[in-house]
A and B are shown apart, each in its own frame.
Chain A
Amino acid sequence: MAHVWRMIAQRLALGFLTLFVVSLLIFGATELLPGDFAEAILGQSATPETIAAIRRDLGLDQPFHTRYVSWLGGVLQGDFGNSLANGQPVIELITKRLGNTLFLALYAAAMAVPLSLALGILAALFRNSIFDRMSNALALTSISFPEFFVAYILILWFAQSGMFPSIVRLSEGISFGETLYRCFLPALTLTLVVTAHMMRMTRAAIINLLASPYIEMARLKGMSPIRVILRHALPNALAPIINVVALNLAYLITGVVVVEVVFVYPGLGQLMVDSVSRRDIPVVQAVALIFASAYVLLNLTADVLSTLSNPRLMHRR
């Protein structure tokens, strides 16, 4: 176990390094994008004088490194600054949306992960049967439609009849059940989008092991196929499965901007895209850091779990 704890400590330290590099990269990339906040906010109405006035006012006329260092200094003291666009503290802008994003991600994951594991295991069990082929084909079809297209189809079926709302409005003080109901369509869309990937990986990882001698042995001992898969194949297939699950969870947190747009869901993705197009650097940076942290943590969890699931990695020489 000491090995694992050391790995976690090491990876967390590296995680902070990752965050630092990401912040530098995003800051630099936003800098390289054509136009700055002043030009973006004025758009077609820009004049040289007003652009200069905005830059002066917000300190955008300072050189790149000065601005980055002052931003970094603030962050290290827990101050993420104010949004350039509307002057609100970045923390305030983000807190509520982060909650929404995590809620939707967990909601979708709670549906998608059990579903895809179960389907994957069943498909491996009944491999090459009509069930296997059909569930595969359906999952693949759903994954090969772009997210917005899946969303539109669900809206056509479930929202136009009034069964579920087509835009999500999260007012204050609605019950948990009501929240689940209102967020159902975006969560279902995301479920359809991520299920196929996890299901196919589960199936492939299990089938990959089924020809191993120890499985052969278990079978020869007369174990039932489902028991062979659950007790012997699955534990050894966990590493790739955990990895693909982590990858998809990260996606559910960081990559769902299109679904947010279609269902008008107030999450972080929308905030990120809006802020990039306005060059609102403090907000872009803060959201990028959240996304990066989510990724680093999920990744670390996946690696720890994979290690724990594989005794050989646990006792690596």
Chain B
Amino acid sequence: MTNSINRSAGLSRRSVLRGATALGAAALILPAGMRAASAEPKKGGILRIGMGHGSTSDSLDPGSWDNAYSQVFATSRHNYLTEIDADGALQPEIAESWEASADAATWTFKIRQGVTFHSGKALDAEDVIASINYHRGEDSKSAAKPIVDGITDIKSEGSHTVVVTLDAGNADFPFIMSDYHIAMLPAKDGAIDPTTTDGCGPYVVDHFEAGVEAKMTRNPNYWKSDRAHFDGIELLPIVDGAARQNALISGQVDVIDRVDLNTVHLLKRAPNINVLSVTGSQHYVFPMDSRAAPFSDNNVRMAMKHAIDREELVEKILNGYGSVGNDHPISTANRFHAGDAIEQRTYDADKAKWYLKQAGMDSIDLELSVSDAAFGGAVDAGVLMSEKSAAAGINLKVTREPSDGYWSNVWMKKPFVASYWGGRPTEDWMFSTAYKSGVNWNESFWENARFDELLAAARSELDNDKRREMYVEMQGLVRDEGSTVIPMFASYVMAHTNAVATPEKVAPNWTMDGFRIAERWWFA
């Protein structure tokens, strides 16, 4: 059993520790006093958050939360079985503890006692089962269906124990239960109501109008005594980047996300404004369709990978708010990142030419389909790539596709496109989502027998050293044989006024402190 998956109830008694984040393994090593000395969270105030997402067609249905607005809103009113802390380690939330069978295929979750929903209903195993089942099954309309597909059976043992059976061993299963879709909602007759705002999270929803605002007040019966410091939350969708920045400067909101990277250096100069940047697992990718020529030839793919100036992309597209990628999707925030074991790939026009020659070509014409729907700056990134790859004999024609319909019409339809991944907390989750042969979101249609074999073996392997070895080999495979260019990891860049205080470490797994700004931050 690894440290992260076998966590006894005693370790997580949060009340003895101060602050919001000091709960990972690191906290046990640090002298406790150091953290206690840093700013003491204060109660009070209404936090106004300006989000760069949110539209009039957002809904309360957990299966449809597809943008950061819905996700932060969900996390403000709901709890999950498990929580990922700022250090990327797994923490108990509604599940007090969990145990795996020896093959990691059966998981037993102990559900926390004494948790109530905003409506006053007490949470028990039935609610947990209904909340998970909502995403499963033939008729599921949930975007989270693929990640719970591995569950073959789920049942309760008594009122506060849930037993989940998987079709195969998965050492990271409790991580999956922290996914933002799988919120704990109250069950009625064995099913949840997907249109309810009722939850057991830190804030109670007073008012929600899609695309306009959400207003919430603190849940007086919240079971975590050291979280949820604000009296209330106002969550506003401000999609236009300049409008968002100006709302912050003029004091109409306290925090914004998705700071416009073109002007972040100017925003920094504004008085009373702090820019907050966290580097995490979010990365921008350019998948190439490996099923057909020319990308069926690995030499062409390698040529492309060498013809990209990653440093320039990070500097100009991300304005330095990010780090270079090494053509595999595992970030430094992950446990088994290869680190120095794999050499960083750099721009090398000669090498690219050499690979092209191996493929029997002197030059090649390629078309790259991009849109800012894939990620902000994708079109500009394409232009920069095309300027640099020309020296290697790769004539890259950049086509800007309409943002509207990009995911259904261009992505996984055209041979060379732009895409992004928010990243996943575990290697297995990331790899089996987008790199395993034949899975739905394998955007490059890449197939590699050795990779699939390692993925299956690592999934049920409980020995950390062996897992590391396997995951490092897989990162190398994706880097050198894979069909995806992964030039950069993008930071989450937020800004807030001086009145707002944050924990010492802000979670890098998602924007807004892992979506949990509402319960983790406070007014100084």
Report which A residues bind B (CB closer than 8 A). Answer: 33-35, 39-50, 53-54, 56-57, 83, 85-87, 93, 148, 152, 155, 159-160, 162, 165-167, 169, 261-264, 266, 270-271, 274-278, 280, 283
Contact = CB atoms under 8 A, between A and B. Distances in A.
Interface string B265-296: 00000000000000000000000000000000
Given A42-B143, A43-B407, A46-B407, A264 B56 contact: no
In this complex, which of B403, B405, B409 has the most chain A Cβ atoms within 10 angstroms of its Cβ?
B405
Contacts of A44: 407, 411, 419, 441
Contacts of B441: 44-45
Given A35-B408, A47-B145, A50-B145, A83 B252 contact: no
A266 B212 contact: yes
Minimum-distance CB pairs A-B, first 9: A35-B408, A34-B409, A85-B57, A86-B59, A45-B143, A39-B408, A34-B405, A274-B55, A278-B57
A20 B419 CA distance: 40
Given A39-B408, A41-B66, A261-B239, A160 B419 contact: no
B213 interface: yes
Contacts of B407: 35, 39-40, 43-44, 46
B266 to A, nearest CB: 12
24 contacts: A34-B405, A35-B405, A35-B409, A41-B66, A43-B66, A44-B419, A45-B144, A49-B138, A53-B141, A57-B139, A86-B58, A86-B59, A93-B56, A148-B242, A159-B250, A160-B246, A166-B252, A167-B236, A167-B238, A167-B243, A262-B240, A266-B211, A266-B212, A276-B404
Given A53-B139, A264-B243, A85 B58 contact: yes
Nearest to B242: A152
In this complex, which of A45, A266, A271 has the most chain B Cβ atoms within 10 angstroms of its Cβ?
A45
Given A47-B146, A276-B404, A166 B56 contact: no
B384 interface: no
Nearest to A47: B440
Given A33-B405, A39-B407, 8 more contacts: A43-B143, A46-B408, A50-B140, A87-B195, A160-B250, A166-B252, A266-B209, A275-B56
A264 B238 contact: yes
B2 to A, nearest CB: 29
Contact of B246 (A47, A155, A261): A155
A91 to B, nearest CB: 15
A53 to B, nearest CB: 5
Contacts of B209: 266
Interface residues of B, number: 49
A259 B408 CA distance: 28
Given A35-B409, A44-B411, A44-B441, A169 B243 contact: no
B52 to A, nearest CB: 12
A181 B50 CA distance: 21
Interface in B383-428: 403-405, 407-409, 411, 419
A41 B250 CA distance: 34
Contacts of B239: 261, 264
Contacts, number: 138
A159 B245 CA distance: 12
A56 B140 CA distance: 11
Contact of B57 (A39, A49, A275): A275
Interface string B109-153: 000000000000000000000000000001111111110000000
A85 B61 CA distance: 9
A155 B59 CA distance: 31
Contacts of B252: 165-167, 169
Nearest to B249: A160
Interface in B30-83: 50, 55-61, 64, 66
A262 B242 contact: yes
In this complex, which of B55, B60, B195 has the most chain A Cβ atoms within 10 angstroms of its Cβ?
B55
Contacts of B236: 167, 169, 264
B430 interface: no
A152 B242 CA distance: 8
Given A39-B407, A46-B408, A262-B242, A167 B143 contact: no
A45 B70 CA distance: 15
B168 interface: no
A53 B58 contact: no
B251 A162 contact: yes
Contact of A165 (B238, B250, B408): B250
A169 B250 CA distance: 14
A287 to B, nearest CB: 10
Contacts of B57: 41, 83, 85-86, 274-275, 278, 280, 283
B454 interface: no
A167 B145 contact: no
Contact of B250 (A45, A166, A271): A166
Interface in B211-225: 211-213
A36 to B, nearest CB: 8
Contacts of B187: none
A43 B403 CA distance: 12
Contacts of A33: 404-405
A53 B138 contact: yes
B210 interface: yes
B237 interface: yes
In this complex, which of B56, B138, B247, B252 has the most chain A Cβ atoms within 10 angstroms of its Cβ?
B56
A87 B56 contact: no
B290 to A, nearest CB: 19
B249 to A, nearest CB: 6
A274 B64 CA distance: 15
